[in-house]
Structure 1
């Protein structure tokens, strides 16, 4: 145990020991409260020093090295207090940290007043809508009691000069998972989201989302929902699988009353079970896309940006053409139905600067769009393809990879 001269700001570095579980709990709790560890330890020592009696002993066997910065003089005063109370210094520090933890319980998960509804779309197929849908959902459902690496750089231009899309990540911050209850809706008849997460498509002769939207339901929609299994999600991440009958959805919707609201009517019975519902749309501009866009509209008393359209593109010309078609459809819906329909932003997916001028110049073009703006840049790396092959969630398969870090950042940006 030692101390070093105080740095600027009149603090000194102290080195001691603390049980590893207590260190981890302190690390998570301070992140949950958006505090520095040094401030928590300072407050804990002050609170412990003011107690009128000693606390029950804490098991400090196997304590690991621990260091932080405290106000000049506090550590010396603390050592004197430990001697006066007959408490070993490591035990006193453990009790001080425990005191702070008890005085600052974990904050509850911040749940939206109105369920967030993210509609992930682009008329062009193959841009990675499904990967973005799954990744954002996973990131929002991660445990609030664990810390996860999140990319905090937004300097997208850095990535343009590197063969590695991860070069944009100039810093990584360890943050608690949001802990939200998330439903992923596979709205694409091809069922890529369902298959990638290791589930089977619903039977054609059974119940389905299509049947609920067309007024042909055979049971409750909640009975079709399945869990995406992994300890980090702890039953917070669910999936509504696709069914191939969705290929007929536009035909069925043509005869449905108020067809634009068909998806909302189908999902409304289960909305209260979730904080976020993310719809993975098919590459279509038909009636099904109208229903999906309508579902993402801003409702009465809903805050701006709580829900809306998330457009996934690639850094190449055909994505730009498809983007124009999609935005025209959105504009028509806005004007024809007088909808308050917000864009959550643009995600440039599968980006790889090694593809040269086409990729880098296309990224420049996307970045030049200010409304909606680019809110995420996700690299084209092998981990996503590997996760799809083994039918595992990316954030469980490769939680530290650059794609996972970027998807966590995107989730926090739009949520």
Structure 2
């Protein structure tokens, strides 16, 4: 144990702490937004105030641990530890455990109204499915574990860097701009609303049988059972039963035809999914590349409801840094504006995600990205690089955040989830 350096009015203390206890301390301080040195100081203060020694802590395998404490606190701690006949390692472990016991993990913040995120763009191939899955996975991660997240300032830096044609392929990622944060711990339902079933297949599930029940049947007013019975869990080991999928069925190719005979057809998706909302904090809909009646129903489902704040639900638009995405964007936003006007709806844009970005494609990519940035409203909320891990996860039929949890794309997906939370 030593105090070899000072930081302002604090002295650096080098001691030992068991790895499991150090990890619990890291997680809890991150959950509460408190610096580790502040937590240790508070724990030691509380331990010094005890009338007697608290319960012994298993310190087997304790390893070096350093922190900064107020001047004089460590000397007092050493004196009291000697009086109580405990080692400094044991006393520090008791202090940290005391702090953990008196500072429980906060409850997961659940929305009063289930949030609805509609991931859309009528252009195919932009990666809507990957964004749907990645955001849902990020929102469902364990609140009692730490995960690498790209901090908000890194996105702004990457977007500024995009103005230069000489920027490197991974300009959207800098390990120095990554921090470890707790998962959101939300209950998430992913809805595969695309008859091509990409989301269903990517997550290792099977499309629903054509002669059985489906979301299409429920929207058309011809259900064959409870929609809950069609839902399947996604990687329960990594997401703790918080992430679920409503698989697609190829009968969705006929959805627009069937909706044409339904009254108030724009509300058909909401009528089908409303009974499920009590079970989930967030429902994310992977929309088909279409501007038909199904897209009207999806946009209506994502509208702002009474009592819901702006930006809680709405449309997340996925694009690429190339010209055809811009054309598709104009068509989509025109449809949204028509719905807003015709039905007097508040449909919020949650932002634009520029997906599959690679500045090595030169001026087309960098100038197109700048064009998206210049829109301002909706703003760019995510920049996802075109890297191999997403493709590998799809091939393996695994969630990206399970398959490559520390990859650049996973780090960016977590940042995106926080941007729209």
Post-superposition CA distance 1:2-39 (Å, at most 9, x none): 1123222x111111001111111001000000111000
Distance 1:106 1:231 in 2: 21
Post-superposition CA distance 1:368-388 (Å, at most 9, x none): 011100000000000000000
Q: Is residue 2:163 matched to residue 1:157?
A: no
Partner residue, 1:91: 90
Q: Give the counterpart of 1:245 among 251, 260, 272.
A: 251
Partner residue, 2:63: 64
Q: Give the counterpart of 1:377 among 372, 383, 398.
A: 383
Q: Retained in 2: the 8 A contact 1:367–1:373?
A: yes
What does residue range 6-405 of structure 1 map to in structure 2 within 5 Å?
A: 6-8=6-8, 10-152=9-151, 153-154=154-155, 155=157, 156-158=159-161, 161-167=167-173, 170-405=176-411
3-state SS of 2:288 partner? coil
Q: Retained in 2: the 8 A contact 1:157–1:168?
A: no
CA drift at 1:164: 2.1
Distance 1:101 1:157 in 2: 41
3-state SS of 1:91 partner? helix
CA drift at 1:231: 2.0
3-state SS of 2:239 partner? coil
CA drift at 1:122: 0.2
Distance 1:80 1:169 in 2: 42
Post-superposition CA distance 1:267-295 (Å, at most 9, x none): 01111000000000000000000000000
3-state SS of 1:215 partner? coil
Over 3 Å counting, the alpha-carbon distance change for 1:124 and 1:261 in structure 2 is same
5+ residue gaps, structure 1, are none
Output the TM-score relative to the length of structure 1: 0.98
CA drift at 1:56: 1.6
Q: Retained in 2: the 8 A contact 1:376–1:406?
A: yes
| Runs of 4+ displaced beyond 4 Å | none
Distance 1:79 1:170 in 2: 36
3-state SS of 1:312 partner? strand
3-state SS of 2:60 partner? coil
Distance 1:199 1:350 in 2: 24
Over 3 Å counting, the alpha-carbon distance change for 1:346 and 1:104 in structure 2 is same
Output the TM-score relative to the length of structure 2: 0.97
Aligned length: 414
Distance 2:128 2:99 in 1: 44
Distance 2:175 2:95 in 1: 36
Q: Retained in 2: the 8 A contact 1:367–1:374?
A: yes
3-state SS of 1:137 partner? helix
Distance 2:140 2:215 in 1: 23
CA drift at 1:400: 0.6
Distance 1:167 1:297 in 2: 33
RMSD of aligned Cα (Å): 0.9
CA drift at 1:342: 0.3
CA drift at 1:169: 5.8
CA drift at 1:136: 0.1
3-state SS of 1:2 partner? coil
Q: Return 92-101 or 73-82, whichever deviates more.
A: 73-82
Distance 1:139 1:203 in 2: 29
Q: Retained in 2: the 8 A contact 1:142–1:180?
A: yes
